[in-house]
Structure 1
Amino acid sequence: MAQFQRISRSKCFDGFQEIYSFFSKELQCTTRFSIYIPPKVNRENPAPVLYWLSGLTCTEENFIIKSGFQRYAAELDLVVVGPDTSPRGCNIDGEDKDYDFGTGAGFYVDATTEKYRDHYRMYSYVVRELPTVIEENFPVIPGLRSISGHSMGGHGALICSMKNPGLYKSVSAFAPISNPMVSPWGQKCFKGYLGENNQEEWKHWDATELISQYNGPDLHLMIDQGSEDEYMDHLFPENFVEACRKYSIPLDYNYRDGYNHSYYFVGTFIGQHLKMHSEVLKSSK
């Protein structure tokens, strides 16, 4: 059992919003995660869990402070867990140089380049280590989980679900980096973490490429994209939508008129996403 330190605990909509730290074996550093436990959820009455992956520059705090999701999670009896977006304090030369690479920009891949492979293993942390920690220590129903995220975190949610058919009962994303192989953000991170001349490996971490290989249960897939997103030239949602259409993957795609990339956008529609996840999870019990 992991050794935890509780960083904070605040009552919120009669449940509790908490932040913990522990030493991650995958990341080889101390990391933090947030967890919201609704008022009716306890050891005798465990609940399904939604994992939320945040975007570039974020920590485990951005989503819990800005989105207002707790109101809906409390009503739906849904535990919500949010990891940090990267390892921190690993003393890797250059990891703090840029906002879009290194610290705060783990990109939810397992790095293979020599410089980053020992610590930048956010994919394995998210899909293996963190769920084990949560299911062993908190009042959640083992195996009953879904995943969501924003921007870089939306990319993470998509690839985690597609690379692990059935691991998550549903997946949703806000403005995901949908085709990172052609995105400036994605190309920079893939070169640094996976190798500049290793584009065949890049395909294994790109949602638009992965959708052609998906062979599993219904993803219950929802994406929201704002029409006024200032980072559209990094996201390429249309490529993913077309790939889903080509390979007959059901997708609930919502193009939201006038919305940008911010948490005002996320906060507006987060209730609809949580409702979708809750309905799928409860039908899967």
Structure 2
Amino acid sequence: MAAAELMKSEKMFNGWVKRFKHSSAELGCDMLFTVFFPPAAAAEGVKVPVVYYLSGLTCTDENFTLKAGAQRTAAELGLALVAPDTSPRGLNIEGEEDSWDFGTGAGFYLDAKEPKWARYRMYSYITKELPAVLAATAPQLDLGNACIMGHSMGGHGALTIALKNPAAFKSVSVFAPICNPTQVPWGHKAFSGYLGEGWQAEAAEQYDATEMVKKYSGPRLPVLMDNGTADDYLQTQLHPWAFEGAAQGKLDLTSRMQDGYNHGYFFISTFMEDHLAFHAKHLLA
């Protein structure tokens, strides 16, 4: 696997925020991702643990990097932060840019089955190609010592990817995740479009955390989930209570409702330190 091209590098809290570009074989386009390297990564022979962050609808790699306020805590804890994009871009597919919750910026962390959307393979990109590119690009990353987190659509991605690959991650955390997407409008639109007719069975088995955890028999992954009581999407799109009920006895789940917080990055930045400390406890044990 070829190394990614460094596009930009900026010092922050004595670490470095670096944005990379590479040609993705999975997605058929150039992809950008951002990595924060903590100061510890500069020491010769040192490998630092990795936190993957999956963003939500309409986002790029820069939403987390610029808005989440994660770097100070990551620098102190010695954690690298990896922020990929949320979909392929510029594939010139008819309808790709028509809506904010499908197509560009809305890859839903799945591998599409509909021929028209065949390059929308964000599940394989996150789980296979991106780690290989990181290994070729940044040898100071300890990719075998990783956790995963995400927001909204990215929370859905973090949960489903971890449930399918529990040996790859020490812990999982999510902000306002789409917990039961087969039962809500965002999921119906994404799954019917990407997976095609008869999407319900495959979506439930492969891409719905609530349905997946009902049949899960892997290790009791530590999971931290935060939702805001003022989130406009809580009742219509997120359904954390469904996941809470299904995960009992299957995962080590801590689920919190944060009073007055909504769906955005003010909420995420407020509790980011908690989430990184949660991951550090498992990554640095």
Paired letter, 1:146: C
* Structure 2 Cα separation of the partners of residues 249 and 150 of structure 1: 19
Structure 2 equivalent of residue 40 of structure 1: 40
Gaps of 5+ in 2: none
Are the equivalent residues in 2 in contact too, given 1:165–1:215 (CA < 8 A)? no
Q: Could you tell me which residue of structure 1 aligns to residue 284 of structure 2?
A: 282
For 1:24, the equivalent position in structure 2 comes to 24
C-alpha deviation, 1:23, in angstroms: 0.4
Matches within 5 A, 1:78-227: 78-117=79-118, 119-138=119-138, 139-203=140-204, 204-227=206-229
Indicate if the aligned counterparts of 1:190 and 1:196 stay in contact, CA closer than 8 A: no
Who is 1:257 aligned against?
Answer: 259
Distance across 1 between alignment mates of 2:194 and 2:46: 41
Distance 2:177 2:232 in 1: 13
Structure 2 Cα separation of the partners of residues 248 and 81 of structure 1: 27
RMSD: 1.1
CA contact (8 A) 1:3 1:23 kept: no
TM-score (norm 2): 0.96
State yes or no: 1:244 paired with 2:243: no
Given that 1:158 and 1:207 are in contact with CA atoms closer than 8 Å, whether structure 2 keeps it comes out as yes
1:5, CA displacement in angstroms?
Answer: 2.3
**CA deviations over 1:97-134 (Å, ceiling 9, x no partner):** 000000000000000011111x1000010011111211
Displacement over 6 Å in runs of 4+: none
Alignment-mate amino acid for residue 198 of structure 1: W
Alignment gaps of 5+ in structure 1: none
TM-score by length of 1: 0.96
Code of the aligned partner of 1:101 = F
2:5 aligned residue: 5
* Cα distance in 1 for residues equivalent to 2:177 and 2:187: 11
1:213 deviation in Å? 1.7
Contact residue 148 and residue 162 of structure 2 kept, 8 A: yes
Offset from partner CA, 1:1-23 (integer Å, 9 cap, x none): 32422221111111011110100
What's the offset of the Cα at 1:158?
A: 0.2
Distance in 2 between the 1:136 and 1:7 partners?
16
Match of 1:269 among 253, 268, 271: 271
CA–CA distance in 2 between the matches of 1:77 and 1:41?
A: 8
Moved more, 196-205 or 63-72: 196-205
**Letter matched to residue 249 of structure 1:** L
> How many residues were matched structurally?
281
Aligned to 1:235: 238
**Conserved 8 A contact 1:53-1:157:** yes
Question: How far did 1:248 drift?
Answer: 4.0
**Partner deviation per Cα, 1:28-48 (whole Å, 9 max, x = no partner):** 110000000011213511101
Distance in 2 between residues matched to 1:135 and 1:214, nearest whole Å: 29
1:135 deviates by 2.3
1:14 aligns with 14
1:3, 1:282 → 2: CA distance? 27
Q: Secondary structure at the match of 2:128?
A: helix
Distance 2:177 2:143 in 1: 27
Contact 1:109–1:123 (8 Å) recurs in 2: yes
d(CA) in 2 for partners of 1:165, 1:216: 7
SS of structure 2 residue aligned to 1:40: helix
Superposed CA offset, 1:220-252 (max 9, x none): 11100001101111111111111112x443211
Q: Distance in 1 between matches of 2:143 and 2:238?
A: 33
